[in-house]
Amino acid sequence: MPNPIPALGKVIVDGQEIDILPGDTLGACMMRAGVLATRRSRSGQLRGLYCAIGVCNECLVSVDGIDNFRACMTVAEPGARVDTGREPG
Amino acid sequence: MTVSPKKHLVVAGGGPAGISAATRAAQRGIAVTVVDEYDRLGGQYFRGRQESTAAGSPRHFFRESPSVQIIANGVVVDTPTKGVLSVWKQGGSVQSLTYDALVVATGAYDRTVALPGWTLPGVLTAGGASTLAKAHGVTPGRRMLVAGSGPFLLAVADDLSARGCDVQVVEATPLRTSVGGLPTIARDPVITRQTMGYLLRLRWRRVRRRYASMVTAIHGHDRVEAATIHRVDSAWRPISGSESTIDVDAVCLGFGFVPQLELAQALECTIGYWEESSDFYVKTDEAMRTSQANVFAAGEVTGIGGVQVAKAEGCLAGLTAAYDLGLIEKSSYDAEVRQLTRRLVRARRLGDWIRRAYRPRAGLWSLADAQTMLCRCEDVTMQSTEEALAHNPATPYAVKTATRAGFGLCQGRICSPYLIEWLRARHGYRVPEEERPWRVRPPIRPVPVGAWLTDRE
Amino acid sequence: MKSRLKDAVIIGGGIIGAACAEALSRAGLQVALIERLGLAAGASSACQSGVGFGISKDDYTLRLHLAAVRAYQEFTADGTDVDYCHHGTILVGEPDEETELKASLQRLRDISVRCEWLDESTLREAEPALSPEICGAARFEDMGQVSPMRVVNEMVRRAIRKGAEIHTNTEVKGIEVSSGKVTAVVTSQGRILSELIVVAAGAWSRQIGELVGLRVPVWPLKGHILVTEPVRGMLRHYVTETGYEATVAAMQAASIDAAGPRPGSPQTAAVLQNLPSGQILIGSSREFAGFDREVNRERLAQIATRAERLVPGLRRLRIIRTYAGLRPWTPDGLPLVGRTAQVEGMVFATGHGGNGNTLALITARLVAELMTGQATTLDTTPLSPDRFEMNGL
């Protein structure tokens, strides 16, 4: 479905550029780009957004080298470097 | 002449209940501060509905109550003493808020149901999927199931199918349950219109609805690839031989909601529990007073009831706060209360019907197998849980200390409501009167160490 | 529970009681463990859990702790997983303590304790998260940490396999004594006949002692912990500061009146424990506040401040939980391990202060040795309950 709203910029998720639309959280723009996995759990399982309202803490990503941002609650800023698929803690 | 300072009401939570309370109280001359964790008001209900101007909506609120203070991106993290709250603002510090009255309107989140494959990327809560669709126009996949129980599934299916997704609804109760609610729905023209809208649009978009069915397993390697659906009996137990597996790339699980009680618990408000529907709630009197003086509760925290109940309760809480602070004459208060109470009673009819009709049945707690995760934060499986119970009494405390379930970032918000019901259904656990649910110490939400430091020299 | 006969009744389901239950049932005794709430409901679920020792000048205490650490190494040698890690401990001192610390390290090395002084560049490499203002620190190789809750559950599992009975949510209502000998324990679930009672009730051991007219010198010493969100390998060691031992000493200096130790000033010292699951437990504090387990916000702030001084990177980590626990404090800082002559059949395994986790296994071994008439791994005279005047309430 073509999206008439112009992109605000891009974030870089695991090296891949992803468009940001106005109001996007990291979780939203990643999901729109088909990137569902946000981290690996303690036992190595891939996880992604689950509750999407900041309660479950499954969507934790690293942003610009700092861990434990909830992708569903973090506003997507152009140029942010996001890393996923990592062990927590 | 001394002017006595305005009384100060803090409303924790800026959803429909909170902003209704704030509006009503501000009208009566109280200084009001609303604290909400998002950057805009409206709670989950108004995500993606910011243009609404209905009573109880953010736009209506701003028009009617321009003088209300708003702390956005803020969350109450502590209740150090009576009349004082600690509020943490994202990227800021912890500030103290003193209050003469407080309305707890902290809302709810989706009830957790653990089943095989529930932790795969692409499995979201129904509430989560709805929020993402409405607020951001994104969906977790293109071909998905909206599975669970209750009319909310129709709303979510509507949101997702509106964005071009191939959606199937999987409702655990039989069709006659929903049909049985028609008389209740029919008494409310707004809800009738809304429901008809869902049903017509879903039909138009060829959204299949299965009844007396549940998703019993979700399959996939790195993400959702397929799901197994069983027909279920009246106790929601899968009927063997009735399964079918279909290709999907996302599953939205919606089995109702559980209230965010941490603030109420930190304030030591009495918490109640309805055994028949597995619901914890903040106990209030008919005017929304909790067991703590000058603390009121409104909205989903007093019992999941939907937006109309939330608005009515919010109005009642704000009004009663003003009355208890001496700002309204009794006759005026009584007249307004009567009116609000009538509205609330009407609104509760639907919420009460939904709670009873779509309450979790025993089979829901038997979907998880040994490998299914109980605690997603610490990766505790159901098998570890069973092993812990081999030499421990069947209590949430014992499971927690033996397995570390609940020790992670979400501090048990996701796993503990499920664990309690699982223990009740499978190990005879009874929720005791005096332990509701787990003790709450600060911080109610995570706060950086930097905000705890004492002043440096 | 019908009246039944046991070789030993253990009162208390924390790490000490659970370890004793395992040791005694392994030694062939029929054991019943009685716990008022749930397993590990006391200090064992509200503590930090380093396994190690302070730089104590007291030779006996050092030997006790060294034996305690060895006991953990032996216990886990077969791969038993109780989150035991011996990643070592780093002890940070004030600049003017460097000479004294180095001397202490030499004395320890003389008795084969593996420890060393790390100068600035070595320290930076060994523990990069430490504040750049710290120019040197002591490192102890064999210290580490363990999960007390996992130890409790593992010990209980093993004890049950050897026939022990575990009774949780069961209160001790009374202890029957006849001609100066213990004969039975009366619980909220019935009576248990036994001639041997092991009191491992932590901060509540004094209340148990009162049931037989003994004044057990154990009182609750409150501590606070802040728990961070999980972080990947922020700290490689258990990190503490010399100020910690000063806080312990300050508490030992408390005067005791009829009501117990006089409150005095609360003490805080930084102790940092990075769990295998990623959270950092940030301690520590000491104060006498009775049995109150509500968290004191000021204390939490004091602990956070001291900790951030050592590890500035803590500043941006979020605290997800706080709690307070009650250490079982004794006036001389040593636990009560062994029989008392005051009541035959009454054995104490309690009063471990802030060392319960470290000393749990060695305590259980000593208790089992004493109860089965074996030679003890080390001299238990300094731990004798009768070093205190306990007679007559």
With contacts defined as CB-CB under 8 Å, which chain C residues touch B393? Answer: 38, 168-169
The residue among B309, B450, B388, B359 whose CA lies nearest residue B149 is B359
What distance in Å separates the CA atoms of residue C75 and residue C146, rounded to the nearest whole number?
12
Q: For chain A, what is the mean pLDDT? A: 90
CA distance B446 to chain C (A): 5
Does 3.50.50.60 match the CATH number of domain C4-46+148-217+333-387? yes
Does residue C279 sit at the A interface (CB-CB below 8 Å)? yes
Q: Which of C231, C316, C318 sits opposite A89 (nearest CB)?
A: C231
Burial-class residue C99 by CB neighbours within 10 Å (0-12, 13-18, 19+).
exposed
SS3 of residue B304 by DSSP: coil
Token digits for B152? 């909310």
What distance in Å separates the CA atoms of residue B27 and residue B322, rounded to the nearest whole number?
9
Q: Please name the fold of domain C89-141+219-329.
A: D-Amino Acid Oxidase; Chain A, domain 2 (3.30.9)
Residue C257 CB partners (closer than 8 Å, separation 6+): none
What distance in Å separates the CA atoms of residue C220 and residue C289, rounded to the nearest whole number?
8
What distance in Å separates the CA atoms of residue B305 and residue B185, rounded to the nearest whole number?
14
- Residue A86 banded pLDDT, cuts 50, 70, 90: low
Q: Which of C232, C316, C318 sits opposite A89 (nearest CB)?
A: C232
Q: What is the pLDDT along chain B (457 residues), one digit of tens a residue?
A: 444 578 999 999 999 999 999 999 999 999 999 999 998 899 999 988 888 888 888 888 888 887 899 999 999 999 999 999 999 998 788 999 999 999 999 999 999 999 999 999 999 999 999 999 999 999 999 999 999 999 999 999 999 999 999 999 999 999 999 999 999 999 989 899 999 999 999 999 999 999 999 999 999 999 999 999 999 999 999 999 999 999 999 999 999 999 999 999 999 999 999 999 999 999 999 999 999 999 999 999 999 999 999 999 999 999 999 999 999 999 999 999 999 999 999 999 999 999 999 999 999 999 999 999 999 999 999 999 999 999 999 999 999 999 999 999 999 999 999 999 999 999 999 998 875 655 689 999 999 999 988 764 3
What distance in Å separates the CA atoms of residue C148 and residue C16, rounded to the nearest whole number?
10
CA distance B222 to chain A (A): 6
| Residue-level pLDDT at B1 | 45
| Residue-level pLDDT at B335 | 96
Q: How many CB pairs under 8 A join A and B?
A: 101
Q: Which of B132, B382, B411 best probes binding to A when mutated, by most A CB atoms within 10 angstroms? A: B132
In B80-113, which positions are buried (b, 16+ CB within 10 angstroms) versus exposed (e)?
eeebebbbbbeeeebeebebbbbbbbbbbbbbbb
Q: Which of A23, A57, A72 sits opposite B410 (nearest CB)?
A: A57
CB–CB of C232 and A88 under 8 A? Answer: yes
**Complete domains list, chain B, with CATH:** 8-108+258-355 (3.50.50.60), 114-254 (3.50.50.60), 364-457 (no CATH)
Do B357 and B304 meet the contact criterion of CB atoms below 8 Å apart?
A: no
The residue among B359, B349, B350 whose CA lies nearest residue B277 is B359
Q: Which residue of C has its CA nearest to A43?
A: C277
Q: Which parts of chain C register pLDDT below 70?
A: 1-3, 392-393
With contacts defined as CB-CB under 8 Å, which chain C residues touch A83? Answer: none
Query: Which value, to the nearest 10 degrees, does the dihedral of the CA atoms of residues B255, B256, B259, B260 take?
Result: 50
H and E: helices and strands count for chain A: 1, 7
What distance in Å separates the CA atoms of residue B26 and residue B68, rounded to the nearest whole number?
7
CB–CB of C315 and B450 under 8 A? Answer: yes
CB–CB of C323 and B441 under 8 A? Answer: yes
Do B427 and B420 meet the contact criterion of CB atoms below 8 Å apart?
A: no
The CA–CA distances, whole Å, from C164 to B141, B389, C34, C153 equal 54, 16, 11, 13
Q: Give the full edge-to-edge strand order of the sheet including B74-81.
A: B74-81, B84-89, B94-98
Q: Which of C278, C316, C318 sits opposite A89 (nearest CB)?
A: C278
Domain boundaries, chain C: 4-46+148-217+333-387, 89-141+219-329
With contacts defined as CB-CB under 8 Å, which chain B residues touch C149? Answer: 401-402, 404
CA distance B320 to chain A (A): 30
What distance in Å separates the CA atoms of residue B206 and residue C98, rounded to the nearest whole number?
78
| Residue-level pLDDT at A88 | 46
Instruction: For strands C256-257 and C260-261, give the pairing.
Output: antiparallel
Residue C196 CB partners (closer than 8 Å, separation 6+): C7, C8, C9, C29, C182, C345, C347, C371
Q: Which residue of B has its CA nearest to A60?
A: B409
The residue among C245, C235, C233 whose CA lies nearest residue C270 is C245
What distance in Å separates the CA atoms of residue B308 and residue B195, rounded to the nearest whole number?
15
| Residue-level pLDDT at B2 | 46
Angle at B343 between CA B338 and CA B346, to 5 degrees: 125
Q: Compute φ and ψ for B15, nearest 5 degrees.
A: -85, -165
CB–CB of B223 and A52 under 8 A? Answer: no
CB–CB of B128 and A50 under 8 A? Answer: yes
CB–CB of C278 and A86 under 8 A? Answer: no
CA distance C177 to chain B (A): 31
| Residue-level pLDDT at B436 | 60
Does residue B225 sit at the A interface (CB-CB below 8 Å)? no
With contacts defined as CB-CB under 8 Å, which chain B residues touch C315? Answer: 448-450, 453
CB–CB of C295 and B441 under 8 A? Answer: yes
Q: State the Rg of chain C over Cα.
A: 21
Angle at B219 between CA B218 and CA B221, to 5 degrees: 140
Query: Which value, to the nearest 10 degrees, does the dihedral of the CA atoms of residues B338, B340, B342, B344 take?
Result: -140
With contacts defined as CB-CB under 8 Å, which chain C residues touch B446? Answer: 229, 318-320
| Residue-level pLDDT at B92 | 81
| Residue-level pLDDT at A2 | 56
Do C32 and C164 meet the contact criterion of CB atoms below 8 Å apart?
A: yes
Instruction: For strands C136-140 and C115-119, give the pairing.
Output: antiparallel
Neighbours of chain A (3+ CB pairs under 8 A): B, C
End-to-end C-alpha distance for chain C, whole angstroms: 31
| Residue-level pLDDT at A68 | 92
Does residue B92 sit at the C interface (CB-CB below 8 Å)? no
Do C290 and C304 meet the contact criterion of CB atoms below 8 Å apart?
A: no
What distance in Å separates the CA atoms of residue B201 and residue B188, rounded to the nearest whole number?
20
Q: What is the 3-state secondary structure (H, E, C) of chain C?
A: CCCEEECEEEECCCHHHHHHHHHHHHCCCCEEEECCCCCCCCHHHCCCCEECCCCCCCHHHHHHHHHHHHHHHHHHCCCCCCCCECCCEEEECCHHHHHHHHHHHHHHHHCCCCEEEEEHHHHHHHCCCCCCCCCEEEEECCCEECCHHHHHHHHHHHHHHCCCEEECCCCEEEEEEECCEEEEEEECCEEEEECCEEECCHHHHHHHHHCCCECCCCEEEEEEEEEECCCCCCCCCEEEECHHHHHHHHHHCCCEECCEECCCCCEEEEEEEECCCCCEEEEEEEECECECCCCCHHHHHHHHHHHHHHCHHHHHCEEEEEEEEEEEECCCCCCEEEECCCCECEEEEECCHHHHHHHHHHHHHHHHHHHCCCCCCCCCHHHCHHHCCCECC
CB–CB of B392 and C319 under 8 A? Answer: no
The residue among B13, B3, B29, B89 whose CA lies nearest residue B321 is B29
The residue among B419, B425, B374 whose CA lies nearest residue B395 is B419
| Residue where the block lists tokens 């039944």 | C4
CB–CB of A51 and B122 under 8 A? Answer: no
pLDDT at A3 over 80: no
CA distance C45 to chain A (A): 21
| Residue where the block lists tokens 């590990």 | C40
Do C288 and C221 meet the contact criterion of CB atoms below 8 Å apart?
A: yes
